[in-house]
Amino acid sequence: MIKNIEIIKYNNGFLEKTFDNVAEESKINIFVNGSHYISLLCSNSELTELCTGFLFSEGVISSFKDIKNIEVPCNNNIFISLDESINFFPEKHRIIVSGCSKGSIDEALMEQDNFYFPDSEPFYKISDILNYMKDLNSHSEIFKKTGGTHCCVLYSKNKKIVSEDIGRHNALDKIIGKSLILDFKPSESILLLTGRVSSEILLKSAKFGVRIIISRSAPTDFSVKTALGINMTLAGFARGNKMNIYSGADRLINA
């Protein structure tokens, strides 16, 4: 996941040969029921979790039990067989998302009418959330060595699920995939992110059942509008002893 490469470094008027760590980027090809479904650029780790979360986010599966088998060989081709009860239609309308690699998502995910959280729970203390954010930084092992990845952590009272990837969407899909494999329900949890919260990241989280998203970075205007519309808690710039709360402040306790 990390490569050490030779570089030329400029520092205060001087050039020198040295070495630097960079995050590895891999292309994986996902085949579903024998047909090529999509190719993803990602960190080459937790590929079963990534594919499981991705297929859930795409609306292909609703639980890990919908997958009959996943083969992850060494040649970056991943073969997935679905349960016979799943109606699989690979040709869907897709939307190009704001990720750096020009990814896309199923258009149906962008329909806000599919989600709404009517109640206020869960409740979290702001002081605890800021401590969680400090803990998030400690889990960004590849980032600390390369500066080239995103990290997600799903917290609950008795469980913590962590993933890291070169892509924001991939890191979140890995979290979703791990949770599905563990049969972990996210409704009482809080999702912490290092990256920008765009509308598709927010809706992907909402589809999974997350009601609180806290990011070290910024949201977009559409993600704020979406969070307000579906009664989801969204906060950004959670750093040190500060954060900006954009929606759902009633779930956050000032303590």
Active site residues: 100
Local structure of 236: helix, strand or coil: strand
Residue type, 142: I
Binning the chain into helix, strand and coil, the percentages to the nearest 5 are: 30, 35, 35
Q: How far apart, in whole angstroms, are the C-alpha atoms of residue 243 and residue 19?
A: 36
How many helices (H) and strands (E) are present in the chain, helices listed first? Answer: 6, 16
Residue type, 43: S
Q: How far apart, in whole angstroms, are the C-alpha atoms of residue 179 and residue 181?
A: 5
104-106/94-96 β-pairing: antiparallel
Provide CB contacts within 8 A for 34, sequence distance 6+: 79
